[in-house]
């Protein structure tokens, strides 16, 4: 695939640079605060979380992603074996200017594991980092659209619930898609991008990518091109394999898109000592690296949304 920016005279970094340290930090500190009670699926804290996300989309003027313009896709408790609870995916949407029927989905899971023995598990990295990154990416695209550079293809900003208990929110969306899966050109999934894997010897500007070449060489190539053109991060493919013993390819929400032949990229910083522990708090996020990783997802999405052709399957 030859990727051509629909707006060759526009520097995507102008909009990537609206993704600021201050906004990432301020929003993540609130989203991963004790007030959200660990965001367990269906809990009062998770309900607060989705209302907060909805309020941010409303404030920036990004429409709801349902066909009627609303923001919540209700996932019944019976779907995740808790009939006394319900939960919600949160959907934001920017309609494409030239190929609106083709949709790029950028996703992150909004839930975490709740509280244990009165201790809140805040989930700042997992996946507060992806959740707030998605908000900032949406805001950058909205600003571009306000300047007359709306994305050529539509973009769905999909915050899914129930990831920690079995990828239920993304599975529900894949089985009840608002936009047909065959018209979904790719899924960029962000799950833990705020910390550093201790296996990395130096604090280099890296990110693990998983899945980029599994279904589409085109997607992999445009990802590499966008990074080289704009960000020059170290794209690490250590865990990019179906035979990876950690099975990361199967463990986040992109997998429910891949199962439906949608090309995917999973952005991931690796695990660390606070993974699924009470120490996963906002003060431990590497904010400058977090910002660069978020900007990488944005510029990759920019290229995908505005390229001449959608990624083809292998």
What percentage of the chain carries pLDDT values higher than 90?
95
The mean pLDDT value for 8-15 works out to 87
Lowest mean pLDDT among 1-5, 22-26, 309-313: 1-5
Other beta carbons within 10 angstroms of residue 140's beta carbon come to: 24
Q: Judge whether residue 3 has pLDDT over 70.
A: no
Q: Under a CB-based contact definition with an 8 Å cutoff, are residues 253 and 174 in contact? A: no
Cα(115)–Cα(105) distance, integer angstroms: 30
> What pLDDT is stored for residue 9 in this prediction?
72
pLDDT tens digit sequence for 75-119:
999 999 999 999 999 999 999 999 999 999 999 999 999 999 999
All residues at 6 or more sequence positions from 140 whose CB lies less than 8 Å from its CB, including other chains: 15, 16, 18, 19, 298
pLDDT-derived band of residue 1, with 50, 70 and 90 as boundaries? very low
What percentage of the chain carries pLDDT values higher than 70?
97
Q: Under a CB-based contact definition with an 8 Å cutoff, are residues 254 and 187 in contact? A: yes
pLDDT tens digit sequence for 203-228:
789 999 999 999 999 999 999 999 99
Q: Judge whether residue 2 has pLDDT over 80.
A: no
Q: Judge whether residue 4 has pLDDT over 70.
A: no
pLDDT-derived band of residue 287, with 50, 70 and 90 as boundaries? very high
Q: Under a CB-based contact definition with an 8 Å cutoff, are residues 138 and 62 in contact? A: yes
Other beta carbons within 10 angstroms of residue 145's beta carbon come to: 18
> What pLDDT is stored for residue 140 in this prediction?
98
pLDDT tens digit sequence for 16-65:
999 999 999 999 999 999 999 999 999 999 999 999 999 999 999 999 99
- Average pLDDT over the chain, rounded to whole? 96
């Amino acid at each position: 695939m030859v990727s051509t920016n629909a707006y060759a005279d526009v520097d995507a970094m102008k909009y990537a640079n609206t993704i600021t340290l201050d906004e990432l930090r301020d929003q993540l500190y609130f989203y991963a605060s004790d007030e959200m009670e660990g965001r367990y699926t269906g809990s009062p804290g998770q309900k607060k979380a989705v209302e907060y996300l909805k309020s941010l989309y409303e404030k920036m003027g990004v429409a709801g992603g349902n066909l009627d313009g609303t923001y919540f896709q209700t996932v019944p408790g019976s779907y995740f074996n808790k009939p006394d609870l319900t939960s919600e995916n949160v959907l934001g949407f920017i309609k494409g200017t030239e190929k609106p029927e083709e949709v790029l989905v950028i996703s992150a899971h909004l839930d975490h594991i709740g509280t244990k023995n009165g201790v809140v598990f805040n989930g700042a990295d997992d996946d507060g980092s992806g959740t707030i990154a998605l908000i900032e990416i949406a805001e950058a695209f909205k600003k571009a659209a306000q300047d007359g550079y709306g994305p050529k293809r539509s973009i769905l900003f999909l915050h899914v619930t129930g990831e920690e208990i079995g990828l239920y929110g993304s599975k529900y969306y894949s089985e009840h898609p608002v936009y047909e899966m065959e018209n979904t050109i790719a899924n960029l999934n962000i799950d833990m991008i705020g910390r550093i894997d201790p296996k990395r010897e130096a604090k280099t500007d890296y990110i693990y990518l998983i899945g980029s070449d599994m279904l589409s060489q085109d997607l992999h190539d445009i990802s590499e091109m966008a990074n080289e053109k704009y960000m020059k991060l170290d794209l690490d493919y250590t865990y990019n394999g179906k035979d990876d013993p950690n099975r990361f390819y199967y463990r986040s929400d992109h997998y429910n898109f891949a199962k439906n032949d949608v090309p995917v990229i999973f952005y991931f910083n690796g695990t660390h000592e606070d993974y699924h522990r009470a120490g996963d708090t906002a003060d431990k996020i590497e904010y400058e690296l977090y910002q660069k990783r978020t900007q990488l997802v944005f510029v990759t999405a920019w290229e995908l949304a505005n390229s001449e052709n959608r990624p083809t399957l292998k």
